[in-house]
Structures are given as C-alpha cells and as structure tokens.
Amino acid sequence: VIGHPKYQESKRIAIFLSMPDEIQTEEIIKDIFKQGKECFIPRYKPHSNHMDMLKLSSAEDISSLTLTSWNILQPSDDDSVREEALAGGGLDLIFMPGLGFDKKGNRLGRGKGYYDTYLERCMKHPSGKPYTIALAFREQICESVPVAENDVEVDEILYEDC
C-alpha cells in the first residue's frame, strides 16, 4: 500500500479504522502522518446511510474516539471541530473495507450503502471523485458479488498476491 503510486501522490486520504476481521490499517495511518499527508476517517450516522469523513489530527488521536454499538471507533456525534473532507478540499484517495469483492471492482459492504452514498457526494464536490482502493484478504475475492444500481465500483482492489 505504502509504495502504491496513488498513495504516494495523494495528499488527502480517507481510511477506515479496522474491525478485527478486516485488513488492519493502523500502520498505514501512522505512515499517512509520517509522510505529512492529511488523514480522514469515517463517522457513520446510525439509522441512515449517511457518512462523513472527518480529519484526524494524529495517529494518537484515535485513542480519543468513541466506540459505537458496532464496535467501531469514530468521532462522537457532537464533535463539530474536526474538518469534514468535503467541506474543505475533498479527497484524493479513499481506502475502503468490504466483505467480498470481484475482479470487476464490485464490492459487497455491510448493507447500508455508506460508501456508495459518500462517493455520490464526492462526485458533486469540485475536486471530484477520489481514487478508491479496497483492502482485502485473498479469501474475499469472489467470482461475482451481488450489486445494485446505486453501487459504485472501486477503482482497484489490493490483496495478497494480486
């Protein structure tokens, strides 16, 4: 990931905070800050498909986040001091999680459409749609995954031996 050309050229990067069954992103987050890039993480709104990408001030800032009912760390609902990526300069790159992927770029998420809805919002931002990279285990690559008309394909899927 760290040697990837899209990562190298990106300045504003959104990345998920890993759940135990996902590719672990902690070292990538540390490198984002080491490289002097800006790091944004998701804040999901429960009972909706709305998600914002809020700026982290440092890798250590993660310890200040609250744990949701889904066991995901994220900025609290009343945190209004963090920059939302689309309120500023947009994003260059989004690293995305998922449950399954196919080689055509289709992604099976957790069913709420958070990333698809967010990418639709990105397309309306002056900086446009960021490049998207899904981080996966080889076992998550399938022949095909079910898709709906509002699903947005990922630009690239990185997994072992790809």
Which residues are bridge partners to 12 per DSSP? 38
Helix (H, G, I), strand (E, B) or coil at 9: helix
Alpha helices (runs of H) in the chain, residue ranges in sequence order: 5-9, 26-34, 114-124
Q: Annotated binding residues for substrate, as ranges?
A: 17, 22
Query: What is the total residue count of the chain?
Result: 162
State the total domains in the chain: 1
Say which CATH number the domain at 134 has.
3.40.50.10420
Q: Annotated binding residues for ATP, as ranges?
A: 107-115
> Is 0.75 topped by the overall pTM?
yes
Task: pLDDT tens for the chain, 162 residues: list them.
Answer: 999 999 999 999 999 999 888 999 999 999 999 999 999 999 998 888 899 999 999 999 999 998 888 788 999 988 889 999 999 999 999 999 999 999 899 999 887 889 999 999 999 999 999 999 999 999 999 999 998 888 899 999 999 875
The upper half-sphere exposure of residue 9, i.e. CA atoms within 13 Å in the direction of its Cβ, equals 5
Spatial CA neighbour of 8 closest among 30, 36, 27? 36
**Domain residue limits at 116:** 5-159
Q: Annotated binding residues, as ranges?
A: 17, 22, 107-115
Q: Give the burial string for 122-158 (b: 16+ CB within 10 Å, else e).
A: beebeeebbbbbbbbeeebbeeebeeeeebbebbebe
